[in-house]
Chain A
């Protein structure tokens, strides 16, 4: 089991086109992409800022992510159709404290626990997993709960930090231009950081 992140930590959610878009329209819910692990467990992937020396590091990791997704499709389906090609667009920042507060939200009484845990995968050392567990006696619709969680996450985000990977230079217009600004405003990456 990986290390649990503390409220003082900071994480990012990376945005990949077309996953987070419907046509040209940016989709907050799909960007956050909460998946159901079981009847009572919801999960999404994030990236731990502690492992990123700079904003360039963050984006390099995002470009690698899109590249791996395309490679996986190529292996599974033999080709990557142009409309399905994954394009990294940037990232949003989120304080871990906001995720812990989900459990305290009066209008989300069905949440039992939230856990943000270091979980390296696919060679991505900075990868962390947000897991939300619902109370065992909750009988409501989990899909509605996902919407409420995604709404609260969106309300806590900063950004976006837009980016165009070198391999996507020729894409015009680039979908990063369609990312929505967060209600809490932009995020500035700390200028000096040593990666762990």
Chain B
């Protein structure tokens, strides 16, 4: 096992840890994910690969001092653990690969100090994070292949965009839309298109 990048911080008794990796031979994604709750000692680890893993940990930062934030994400972590539990009702159980990326997104949302979302799904193939405020709904749909973003009001869909997981593996997560979507200012955010060139930017909005 070769560690490329690790960070391991905690906040108010909760640490969300994601290990994502790539197969050193094929370059394909391999993953392990864990949600660890300090104090309760609850931990849950999903093994998706036993081959060589490059570890990348995303965790709740020490800056996220707001109690509500940490409590919200603790609930979210527990909910994600339940969704991946084999004892969970078939209606709600999600695929292991979806669980891994949903945990990764949850960790990065926490890092971005975005309020904890409500959670839903369309079955085993996805998890949907949802925020409703300012008469707008914001969704982040996480599947094994992509993260889809949607902002809507009652009258219309206001914004949609989609990121392939391969684009997000080593780059910033698409969080800024959540912070900016409630403002009147046009949302613009750029992400590196890792599939082409490190110098090439792709405009999302």
Contacts and interface: CB of A to CB of B under 8 A. Distances in A.
Contact of A147 (B92, B141, B158): B141
Interface string B136-176: 01010101011010101011111110100000000000000
B134 to A, nearest CB: 13
Q: Would you call the interface of chain B mostly helix, strand, loop, or mixed?
A: strand
A114 B110 CA distance: 38
A36 B154 contact: no
A110 B125 CA distance: 19
B162 A141 contact: yes
Contact of B89 (A25, A84, A146, A150): A84
Interface stretch (A27-35, A57-65, A115-123): A27-35
Given A36-B123, A143-B141, A30 B150 contact: no
B126 interface: yes
Nearest to A140: B162
B126 A25 contact: no
A141 to B, nearest CB: 4
Interface stretch (B5-13, B113-121, B195-203): B113-121
A102 to B, nearest CB: 11
A85 to B, nearest CB: 10
Interface residues on chain B, size class = 20 to 34
Contacts of B130: 28-29
Interface of B: 79, 89, 91-92, 118-123, 125-126, 128, 130, 137, 139, 141, 143, 145-146, 148, 150, 152, 154-160, 162
* In the complex, the 8 A-B pairs of residues with the closest C-beta atoms, listed nearest first: A144-B148, A107-B157, A29-B120, A143-B126, A141-B146, A27-B120, A143-B143, A147-B141
21 contacts: A18-B92, A22-B119, A27-B119, A28-B120, A29-B122, A29-B128, A30-B91, A35-B122, A36-B125, A107-B157, A140-B146, A143-B122, A143-B146, A144-B148, A144-B160, A146-B126, A147-B150, A148-B150, A151-B139, A151-B157, A155-B155
Given A27-B121, A144-B146, 17 more contacts: A22-B120, A29-B130, A34-B122, A35-B122, A36-B122, A107-B157, A107-B158, A140-B148, A141-B143, A141-B145, A143-B143, A144-B148, A144-B150, A146-B141, A147-B150, A150-B122, A151-B139
